[in-house]
Amino acid sequence: MGLMKEFKEFAVKGNVIDLAVGVIIGAAFAKIVDSVVSDLILPLVGAVIGKLDFSNLFVVLGSVPAGTAMTLDALKKAGVPVFAYGNFITVAVNFAILAFIIFLMIKQINRLKKETPAAPAATPEDVVLLREIRDSLKR
């Protein structure tokens, strides 16, 4: 019974709940970034480079059965080994954009978190009195 009690205390701690919320928001954010990359950025990059579609860049590593279309999806469905470097490019661009956006978000959060330095605490009376005595003895 002690193990269940310990687990309950662990599960309701703020850190675990914060982590769960972060994972859920992160999954939703990843979908947004994936859409930005695949729907906005990659078409622009493809237009600049020469209208490339990165998702269809691949090298066939095995024999292709007769009648199979030479598209990535068709080859994968046919079980043909394919070196799909275009998908890797897409995932790498997704990662770079996601990392940059998270960097910007954390930078902004840290900027907002910066607290103004607290005013120095008032000098205790005994110290003030000792300073006055010291100053009067110097005269």
Q: How far is residue 95's CA from residue 53's CA, in Å, rounded to a whole number?
A: 18
Other residues' Cβ atoms within 10 Å of the Cβ of residue 86: 18
The residue extents of the domains of the chain are: 2-138
Neighbour-count burial of 38, counting CB atoms closer than 10 A to its CB (0-12 exposed, 13-18 middle, 19+ buried): middle
Q: What is the pLDDT of residue 123?
A: 85
Q: Which residues of the chain carry a pLDDT beneath 50?
A: none
pLDDT tens per residue across span 10-49 = 777 767 777 888 888 888 887 887 787 778 877 787 778 7
CATH, domain range 2-138: 1.10.1200.120
Cα–Cα distances in angstroms (integers) from residue 134 to residues 124, 127, 130, 139, in the given order: 16, 10, 6, 9
Predicted model pTM: 0.52
